[in-house]
Structure 1
């Protein structure tokens, strides 16, 4: 009976061991699956982190590149303004500026290839700006040279103008001196009263003795005056400052000091610098009033000489 009981226990333990073994296998498989799933989740997480990091780096690099482009655009605008002011050609810079504006306008997310292209362009633009800095420096140097040359030319021009003005003033002064020096002078002036019988009397003389008035003088020697034709004019002015004239007897008018005035008599001569003597005769046709008279001699709007005579 005891042996049967033992056999029964052995027979019931065998299925239980099989069950336990299957359970262990299932648990092991589940454990492996869980481990693999955990590894996959970890790897996926690491890959996601790497992608996010890469994306963040890409965005930061893109933003940095875009900022550099914006900065270069500002520099290009400054360079364009400077070169235009200096008279240089800005076509190349304008093209570069338009290219940058197009790149900035796209505002799209860029991959590494695009960023490399933009970075290359940034480098090219920096090199262009460097070249333009050298061009600006050269243009400034040329402008400075031109400014110095212009300043020098202006100084020379001013000095030349001063010299010309001084020469002109000296010439004008010399011309004035020559003009004054060349003026003719009447000398040895004599005035006679001639009666009807031809007798001549010196001043003072009586009215009844004056049939006609005779004026004589020499033209003084003047080595400066040119030999040329001259109109010699005589004016006789009474005590009331009135000119004695008669148009029918050759009297007329001439300009003196910008005014038209009467003259008593005139002669046209050729001045030959020989101290030539001139004679003027004037018949009044009426009695001469008592008083002091003044005789003036003119030519070329200036006075050659003067002398007074008295009628009693």
Structure 2
């Protein structure tokens, strides 16, 4: 009975309703606060994601730009390395100094061999080096041009010198030929000549008969001649040789009686008799006597006079 009265009490019902309303409001406030906090968290997270994305894109763009710059720079270094090889070869050919270029080539090769990712500082350094190498190449182009000009001048001078040398050689050759011709003329002019050649037969009683003569009258053959004047020939000792050649071309000689050999026109020849004299350019007269030791055959004979490998004169005589 008491319980039913309590449930039906309007005041208590109102109090109960108000309490429920308060609890609902309190619950709604908590929910709103939670929703707001979640919304803020979502917004903040979204902003962070966006900013991270933007930063990632910027970083990627920066890396792409860096890699592109590095690739361009490395390619330029490779091109410069090839240009350096060409310059080194050209300057070496022209005789220039390639020490500086070889050092630059080695530096570039070191850079290319590193094969590592570059940052902005490295790229800037590489760009500075590329600029320096380009300046070096330009300077070497100027040096090559100067070396070409120098080599061209040297070639011109060398050609001129060769021409002058050839002209001088031709002149010397002409002088040599003229000298040789003059020497030949002098040698020819200095050759001695036998003149006034006389040939006698001497019999056993000492009587002389001038050729032609009979065989029985010729126990000995006597030859007399003068050496002609010659102002070119030097005063010096001479070996004068005479030889008698029969009609068959055989030389009359006897080694036991003073005959011997001499060189004439590259061949060894026999002489009949010889005499050593001092030529004094006084038209001195020489006399030779030769005793054959047997009868002279009839026929024509040639008497020839020689000295120093040339013929001074000759005369033919007859034995009847």
TM-score between both structures, scaled by the size of structure 2: 0.86
Q: 2:131 matched to which residue of 1?
A: 123
1:155 is the counterpart of 2:163: yes
Q: Which stretch has the larger CA shift, 154-163 or 11-20?
A: 11-20
Q: 2:270 aligns with which of 254, 262, 268?
A: 262
Q: 2:216 matched to which residue of 1?
A: 208
Q: Look up the SS of the partner of 1:163 in the other structure.
A: helix
Q: Which stretch has the larger CA shift, 263-272 or 287-296?
A: 263-272
Q: 2:245 matched to which residue of 1?
A: 237
1:15-64 Cα distance to aligned partner (Å, 9 max, x none): 68887777666666655554444333332222221111111101101111
1:58-80 Cα distance to aligned partner (Å, 9 max, x none): 11011111111111111222222
1:96 is the counterpart of 2:124: no
1:141 is the counterpart of 2:149: yes
Distance 2:284 2:104 in 1: 93
Distance 1:56 1:104 in 2: 20
Q: 1:108 matched to which residue of 2?
A: 116
Q: 1:221 aligns with which of 200, 222, 229?
A: 229
Q: 1:176 matched to which residue of 2?
A: 184
1:69 is the counterpart of 2:104: no
Q: 2:6 matched to which residue of 1?
A: none
Q: Which stretch has the larger CA shift, 193-202 or 155-164?
A: 193-202
Distance 1:305 1:95 in 2: 85
Q: Which stretch has the larger CA shift, 97-106 or 113-122?
A: 97-106
Q: Look up the SS of the partner of 1:201 in the other structure.
A: strand
Distance 2:257 2:75 in 1: 106
Q: Look up the SS of the partner of 1:275 in the other structure.
A: coil
Report how far residue 207 of structure 1 moved.
0.8
Distance 1:286 1:138 in 2: 94
> How many pairs were matched up?
307
Q: 2:254 matched to which residue of 1?
A: 246
Q: 1:42 matched to which residue of 2?
A: 50
Gaps of 5+ in 2: 1-10
Q: Which stretch has the larger CA shift, 24-33 or 256-265?
A: 24-33
Q: 2:8 matched to which residue of 1?
A: none
1:86-116 Cα distance to aligned partner (Å, 9 max, x none): 3333332222222222221221111111111
Q: 1:291 matched to which residue of 2?
A: 299
Alignment root-mean-square deviation, CA: 2.6
1:307 is the counterpart of 2:312: no
Q: 1:80 matched to which residue of 2?
A: 88
1:215-270 Cα distance to aligned partner (Å, 9 max, x none): 11122222222222211111001122221122232222111112222111112222
Distance 2:273 2:237 in 1: 17
Q: 1:52 matched to which residue of 2?
A: 60
Distance 1:24 1:151 in 2: 107
Distance 1:211 1:109 in 2: 125
Distance 2:79 2:218 in 1: 111
Q: 2:206 matched to which residue of 1?
A: 198
Q: Look up the SS of the partner of 1:240 in the other structure.
A: coil
Q: Which stretch has the larger CA shift, 160-169 or 120-129?
A: 120-129
Distance 2:261 2:115 in 1: 97
Distance 1:136 1:209 in 2: 100
Report how far residue 198 of structure 1 moved.
2.7
Gaps of 5+ in 1: none
Q: 1:167 matched to which residue of 2?
A: 175
